[in-house]
Structure 1
Amino acid sequence: MLLASLMVVLAANALSASAQIVVAHFITQNAYSYSQGDWTNDINTAKATGIDGFALNVALPDYELDRVATAFVAAESANFKLFFSFDMSYGWQESDMVSLVAAHASSSAMLTYDGGVLVSSFSGEANGDAFWASVKSTLANQGIKITLAPAFTSFRDPGQASALLSEFPSIDGFFNWWSWPNDVDTTLTTDTDIAYRDAAHTRGGPYIMSVSPWQFKDIDANNAWVELGDTLWNYRWLQAIQDVKPDIVEIVTWNDYAESHYIGDINPNVDLGTAAPNYVNGFPHAAWRIIAQYYISWYKTGTAPTVTNDVVVFWYRAHPKAVSCSGGWAPRMSTFPADAVFAMSLLSSPATISLDIGSTHAQFAGQVGATIGSVNFPVEDSQIPFIQIIRNGQTTKSGYGSVFVTQSCSWYNFNPFVGVIQ
């Protein structure tokens, strides 16, 4: 297994209101072709990373109900947790939401928080507080207490945290969906996290903080954008661990392929539509789970884990940002990402990390634990990265990327290839 290359000690998988919980956002629409075996594979892979559960993003009460039922069977067998994140952009009815929560509330796989079944959302503020209060009271009348921590996505401005509380007295906590810079060429701050964490804690919480590795989409002219995410997967984890200290970290996402922030394996049976395959297929992100494993352990234990086996995880795009492609749509904010190969070392002892691509060379001093560096794209066409771990003048490990950086492209692709030297 990929993660066996990084030997760290993970916290026990005991979940309670005081535990440090890590979940991953799972797009249930992409489970149309799933069997129980598919769920089991994803669950086991997530558990090996240190992930405690999936937030099931459910869009409609149709085939997803059957897939959800299968997911709970698999999760119960694996001692894995699930909870519902209702995608309110699809117009859920209260009765359908209540029915789905009630159907699985007693499952041993259902994630609870502060004595209630955890329920979250994507959006839903337009429904108003009366809607959410009715969901809670209707379930309570059935003997089911819920802990409501929605992602009301219009609440991003730190100055609106008090308005959230006054407008929605029914909520118990909050999920901050926003894990990328807000269409700006600067790194993400924790201002929103801190404001809404403090607001959520006045209600008892939880505060759920999103952590994401990337954000790129290119499926039509109105859905073509990229956010600045070059080093996001490193610094966002550090923000969670060192600054925000949320009750729950939610990785966005496990399997949203179209938005390029998947860390799960690309399931070949999933229908990606007509556009997304052009930038998803051949661009695995599995090695990002090695970084997640390291930081999850740190988040849960409060101490950076000891690395016993050296690895370098690296990621890069397949073409420079200024290239005009023959297919797809030029994404908004395409000038923001750097034309570079990024590499993060996880080392047992200091070493030099050497990065070469074409005629361009860079190196950085890898320290014990995690260190990040980069090398710029070369001027030559069709080049591939070569990465080395050098200690005491000797190369101990080395390897190449699997995707060439080219000066031409058949589709605008700002989705990175993620690889590992191990």
Structure 2
Amino acid sequence: MQFRFIVKACLLAASLTQAAPASTGSQEVSSSEHDVRATTSRLVFCHFMIGIVGDRTSAADYDADMKRAKSLGIDAFALNIGVDPYTDTQLGYAYESAANNGMNVFISFDFNWYHASSDAAAVGQMIAKYGKLAAQLKVDNKVFASSFAGDGLDVAAMRSAAGVDVFWAPNFHPEQTSSPANIDGALNWMAWDNNGNNKAPTAGANITVQAGDDNYKKWLGSKPLIAPVSPWFSTHFGPEVSYSKNWVFPGDLLWYRRWNEILSTGPQFLEIITWNDYGESHYIGPLSSKHWDDNSSKFVNDMPHDANNDSGNYFMGRPNGYESMQDAVFIVSLLTSAGTVTVTSGKNSQTFNAPAGAAAFQVPMAVGKQTFSLSRNSKVVMSSTSLKDISEICICGIYNFNAYVGTVPDGFSDPLGTDAIFGHSDWRRINANNNRSRWQFALHNDLKSISRGHNDRRAVKHTEEHNIQGPDPD
């Protein structure tokens, strides 16, 4: 799955839709070795629980997580921390591994353990300590940091203790913090439909995830929301632990529905909840990710969630460099003498006076047949219709930036052999958002045309590469 949506993703993610709000910042990292896929204001985060990984002994223990997350299009891990004695050690490992693997990270302070009334300075000092490291995510040239809960924190005191510019986007709540004036954005943690009191919805009380987002947006005004995305929620701890809890939120098609909402609303930031919180069953990371058992193994063992990452390919964002392409059919003519070239792409038709020798033209791309002709003295001397239409349907369900190449007159057909086409019929991972493709078409001999294009407004038919040639015209 890729979210670079996402979209990055992703997840899967950069990467969401063009319907997003105006940018308030761009991602910057302090290490040139990082693979920042594109300068973008849209980022995909994933919540990572440091509290259950105290058994890790080196940065290498984080490498598999970093590599896997990066491959899914996740831009940064939100490192959830409490006040465990191993927190600093594990943060050091995580930041080192992220730097080694081209990932970004930032701290998410868990106010189940921090105290909003007294820990503002401690929060600021942690931000200062880790904010200078290479893997630290920065937005608007500010050290990015977040939280779980924390309403009532003295934000001014936190900023003073940090001594650096902080992009503070905590999980404060509109109902508990009257004004967002002291924050830069906010995380909506409630990624599940609920009753407004942290339990499953009822017939008389059903607050959808999108309704929660809307409430945050109204409260935040122009400041960015970190929109939540989660595949599931189920927890079952009894009196054997101090954090007894036993409830579920409805999640049958939550992952699918929520990604469609994200595509429609286009938030600047989104956070996947979570990578490795096995205790609440909303993990998208592998079960093999090294961690202590928090007594969740009784309901997590043999219950992988990895397939969520495959299904998320539907929501994978556009590839790096997509904005450098144009929605057009490109033509190169190679003529022995001047003539008139007519190109029709769907309903778009244009005529060009082409000189002897090489010349280039382009026509706006449109769905439908693609035809090319050469005329001299008002007489068509050669013409052809491409064997590949520009279509609104995605074969294999993916955008395709590969090139389709043909000639006029028509030449030989060059399909894949049966042993080389297995994936064409087997792979059905889908991306239906802002899909693009590219075509090339060549008019051979007296007129040669190379056309290519892509389309960011519709899904595009899968294309194969052809070299179509024919005999010289009389």
Aligned residue identity for 1:52: D
Displacement, 1:150? 0.7
Alignment of 1:307-386 (within 5 A): 308=396, 369=431
* Counterpart in the other structure of 1:197: 217
* Counterpart in the other structure of 2:169: 149
Displacement, 1:307? 7.4
* Counterpart in the other structure of 1:230: 252
Q: Which of 32, 37, 41 is the aligned partner of 2:54? A: 32
Change over 3 Å in CA distance of 1:109–1:56 after alignment to 2? same
Change over 3 Å in CA distance of 1:29–1:196 after alignment to 2? same
* Counterpart in the other structure of 1:76: 99
* Counterpart in the other structure of 2:201: 184
Aligned equivalents of 1:114, 1:42: Cα separation in 2: 27
Aligned equivalents of 2:207, 2:219: Cα separation in 1: 24
* Counterpart in the other structure of 1:263: 284
* Counterpart in the other structure of 1:411: none
* Counterpart in the other structure of 1:212: 230
* Counterpart in the other structure of 1:88: 111
Displacement, 1:237? 0.9
Change over 3 Å in CA distance of 1:306–1:149 after alignment to 2? farther
Contact 1:307–1:369, Cα closer than 8 Å, also in 2? no
* Counterpart in the other structure of 1:106: 132
Change over 3 Å in CA distance of 1:367–1:261 after alignment to 2? closer
* Counterpart in the other structure of 1:291: 311
Provide, for residues 82-139 of structure 1, a one-character-per-residue CA deviation record: whole Å limited to 9, x for no partner. Answer: 01110011124233322221112122211112221111110111xx25x122101222
Q: TM (normalized to structure 1)?
A: 0.62
Aligned equivalents of 1:96, 1:9: Cα separation in 2: 33
1:90 aligned counterpart, secondary structure: coil
Aligned residue identity for 1:254: W
Provide, for residues 161-204 of structure 1, a one-character-per-residue CA deviation record: whole Å limited to 9, x for no partner. Answer: xx7452x53111110001101111568351221231243343xx
1:76 aligned counterpart, secondary structure: helix
2:251 aligned counterpart, secondary structure: coil
Contact 1:22–1:53, Cα closer than 8 Å, also in 2? yes
Aligned residue identity for 2:188: N
Q: Which sits farther off after the overlay, 107-116 or 286-295?
A: 286-295
Aligned equivalents of 1:111, 1:2: Cα separation in 2: 19
Aligned equivalents of 2:314, 2:155: Cα separation in 1: 37
Displacement, 1:223? 0.6
* Counterpart in the other structure of 2:149: 123
Provide, for residues 138-170 of structure 1, a one-character-per-residue CA deviation record: whole Å limited to 9, x for no partner. Answer: 22xx3x100111112x54xxxx4xx7452x531
| Residue 186 (structure 2) pairs with residue 174 (structure 1) | yes
Q: Which has the larger radius of gyration?
A: 2
Aligned residue identity for 1:21: L
Aligned equivalents of 1:367, 1:99: Cα separation in 2: 45
1:190 aligned counterpart, secondary structure: helix
Contact 1:349–1:367, Cα closer than 8 Å, also in 2? no
Aligned residue identity for 1:194: D
Change over 3 Å in CA distance of 1:123–1:10 after alignment to 2? closer
Q: TM (normalized to structure 2)?
A: 0.56
Change over 3 Å in CA distance of 1:240–1:210 after alignment to 2? same
The aligned length equals 297
Overall identity of the aligned pairs, in %: 28
Aligned equivalents of 1:189, 1:116: Cα separation in 2: 29
Aligned equivalents of 1:99, 1:242: Cα separation in 2: 38
| Residue 268 (structure 2) pairs with residue 247 (structure 1) | yes
